[in-house]
Amino acid sequence: MMTTINWNEVLDSIPDNASEAIVNSQFTSVLIEALGFTKNEMLFPQFPTGRGADTVDFAARKNIGTDKFLFSGVDPYLLVEGKGRAIATGAKINLAEGTPKYNATREQIKKYLLSPKCQTAQWGIITNGIHIQLFRRHGKVVIPATACTLINKSNISAIVQYIKSLIDNPPKALTVCIYNNKGGVGKTTTTLNLASILRKQKKNVLVVDFDSQRDLTRTLGLEVGAITLSDCLTDTKANVIQTVVHFIHTDKHGKPYTDKHGKHLHFFDVIPSSEDMEEFTDQRLAESKIQKGAKRLRDILKPFVDKYDYILIDCPTQWLFFSQSSVYASDVVLIPTKHNGLASLHNAARVITQFIPEIKQVRGDGGPIALPIFFNGEKIAATALQTANQEIEKIINQAKKDGFNLLPYYWPKSTTGKDIKTIFSIPSYATVANAAFSHIPAVFLNKIALEHYSGLIKEYFLNE
């Protein structure tokens, strides 16, 4: 049962210059109780995360049978990093999104969520009793689950209830859109091989071909299901479950692999693109015929977020209906680029500084976010890499003038104060390119391709 809390009293009790200790004991611990954790289901202060001497202010988890979290202190579910309203000198602590303190605290909760003793933690909260934000961890990815919200007496109980509803019903899937505002960079190829390698790691994967060119559907040699994506876009009553078809992997002779009962083994599920989606390349038509326009795909995919571990969306290049819908429906955007294609590097910056913030603004729930870019499909000579890095430096400096820090998205390993210009890359492989003709993703055909895509999921997605 949820305790009734008099939030007016709670908020009135915290002075404007409250220290971290005061905010934590008078606000944050009350918040955690309101989220449904009893006193013996939370550890406070200081839960050791298992990474060096790092500790997070609070950890919480429901008791399981006789195992009381307060005593066993293992397998936390929720971590909370509390801050004060002001420091000892009286200077205010500002946790509003984009401020230095916010950025640092966000990095802090991210680090804690990925620490050895927090592998079971799925949620993280940062708050100083003025601002609050919830984050979700999925594998190695930490994403905002709410916007960073300013607390007041009239919204606090709604915020707490909303956060409670999220943490009580954690979605299973991470939805990933593979996008760059530049063509031919390997969006479709990445989607297919990513799905295959995740499947090899025993993850349940759904791939969505949200491109009317139908490259992905054609590459796998698939036909549409009983209901098409296009039906679902125009008719809100269409049964979305019936759009799903199975990709069945065949051997060299085209014979499907079977299990010991002779049943065809399907490798991942696909929502294919249908030919009649072509008409929605006309933006005006898409907006007039599809209820909720670019927001509709997110609704279509809702029934699947509790079923799959990953939902991967392939979309076309232009920033119009298809791509806007795909980014809107996603938790994260994975951006393939080419080191020798300056346009793809510049376009990646546009995606991060312009398109994603545009969608984020409309969605209002803190997402989506971009993952660091990667180089796809080229052999990279040292001199070419130097040229690419010079260009990236220019892109980063330009964005800085506009108040945007691109460093974590281009050279993520540089952010710890070290100057490390590494960008993950998938080299060019003939088997990767030829896979389109055999209708089988390269990961299933070639050991080297498999190793490279294993590297990709280790770098970006899996925390094991």
Ligand X SMILES: Nc1ncnc2c1ncn2[C@@H]1O[C@H](COP(=O)(O)OP(=O)(O)OP(=O)(O)O)[C@@H](O)[C@H]1O
In the complex, which residues of this chain contact ligand X (CB under 6 A)?
183-189, 215, 316-317, 376-377, 426, 428-429, 432-433, 436
Residues 296-355 that bind Mg ion (CB under 5 A): none
Q: Which is nearer to ligand X, 398 or 428 (CB)?
A: 428
Residue 184 binds what, of Mg ion, ligand X, none (CB under 5 to 8 Å, by partner type)? ligand X
Pairs from 342-349 (Cβ < 8 Å, separation ≥ 24): 342/391, 343/182, 344/180, 344/182, 344/185, 345/373, 345/388, 345/391, 345/392, 345/395, 346/395, 347/180, 347/181, 347/182, 348/180, 348/181, 348/182, 348/373, 348/409, 349/395, 349/398, 349/399, 349/406
- From 241, 15, 48, 273, select the one nearest 128 (Cα to Cα): 15
Q: Which is nearer to Mg ion, 188 or 274 (CB)?
A: 188
Eight-class DSSP state of 435: H
Q: Which is nearer to ligand X, 453 or 461 (CB)?
A: 453
The Cα–Cα gap between 153 and 8 comes to 6
Coil, strand, or helix at residue 264? strand
Q: In the bound complex, what is the minimum distance in angstroms from residue 337's beta carbon to Mg ion? A: 14
Residue 230 binds what, of Mg ion, ligand X, none (CB under 5 to 8 Å, by partner type)? none
Q: Which is nearer to Mg ion, 215 or 231 (CB)?
A: 215
Residue 436 binds what, of Mg ion, ligand X, none (CB under 5 to 8 Å, by partner type)? ligand X
Q: In the bound complex, what is the minimum distance in angstroms from residue 282's beta carbon to ligand X? A: 18
Give the residue carrying structure tokens 């409670």: 164
Give the residue carrying structure tokens 């060096």: 52
Q: In the bound complex, what is the minimum distance in angstroms from residue 215's beta carbon to Mg ion? A: 5
Q: Which is nearer to Mg ion, 122 or 217 (CB)?
A: 217
Beta-bridge mates of residue 369: 332
Q: In the bound complex, what is the minimum distance in angstroms from residue 323's beta carbon to ligand X? A: 10
Residue 188 in contact with Mg ion, rule: CB under 5 A: yes
| DSSP codes, 168-221 | HS----EEEEE--SSTTSSHHHHHHHHHHHHHHTT--EEEEE--TT-HHHHHTT
Eight-class DSSP state of 351: I
Piece of 182-190, 300-308, 374-382, 421-429 that binds Mg ion (CB under 5 A): 182-190
Residue 186 binds what, of ligand X, Mg ion, none (CB under 5 to 8 Å, by partner type)? ligand X
Instruction: Identify whether the C-beta of residue 35 lies closer than 8 Å to the C-beta of residue 27.
Output: no
Q: Which is nearer to ligand X, 187 or 298 (CB)?
A: 187
- From 147, 142, 125, select the one nearest 134 (Cα to Cα): 125
Residue 209 in contact with Mg ion, rule: CB under 5 A: no
Residue 273 in contact with Mg ion, rule: CB under 5 A: no
Q: In the bound complex, what is the minimum distance in angstroms from residue 162's beta carbon to ligand X? A: 37
Residues 6 or more apart in contact with residue 404 via CB below 8 angstroms: 352, 353
Residue 21 binds what, of Mg ion, ligand X, none (CB under 5 to 8 Å, by partner type)? none
Residue 244 binds what, of ligand X, Mg ion, none (CB under 5 to 8 Å, by partner type)? none
Task: Give the number of other CB atoms < 10 A from CB of residue 411.
Answer: 21
Q: Which is nearer to Mg ion, 83 or 187 (CB)?
A: 187
Eight-class DSSP state of 2: P
Residues 215-244 that bind Mg ion (CB under 5 A): 215
Give the residue carrying structure tokens 């309101």: 34
Residue 49 binds what, of Mg ion, ligand X, none (CB under 5 to 8 Å, by partner type)? none
The Cα–Cα gap between 453 and 458 comes to 9
Which one of 117, 136, 187, 199 is in contact with Mg ion (CB under 5 A)? Answer: 187
Q: In the bound complex, what is the minimum distance in angstroms from residue 175's beta carbon to Mg ion? A: 18
Number of residues near Mg ion (by CB under 5 A): 3
Give the residue carrying structure tokens 């859109």: 177
Instruction: Identify whether the C-beta of residue 392 lies closer than 8 Å to the C-beta of residue 410.
Output: yes
Q: In the bound complex, what is the minimum distance in angstroms from residue 433's beta carbon to ligand X? A: 4
Task: Give the number of other CB atoms < 10 A from CB of residue 397.
Answer: 10
Q: Which is nearer to ligand X, 110 or 218 (CB)?
A: 218
Q: Which is nearer to Mg ion, 219 or 230 (CB)?
A: 219
Q: In the bound complex, what is the minimum distance in angstroms from residue 340's beta carbon to Mg ion? A: 19
Q: Which is nearer to ligand X, 360 or 452 (CB)?
A: 452
Q: In the bound complex, what is the minimum distance in angstroms from residue 118's beta carbon to ligand X? A: 35
Q: Which residues bind Mg ion (CB under 5 A)?
A: 187-188, 215
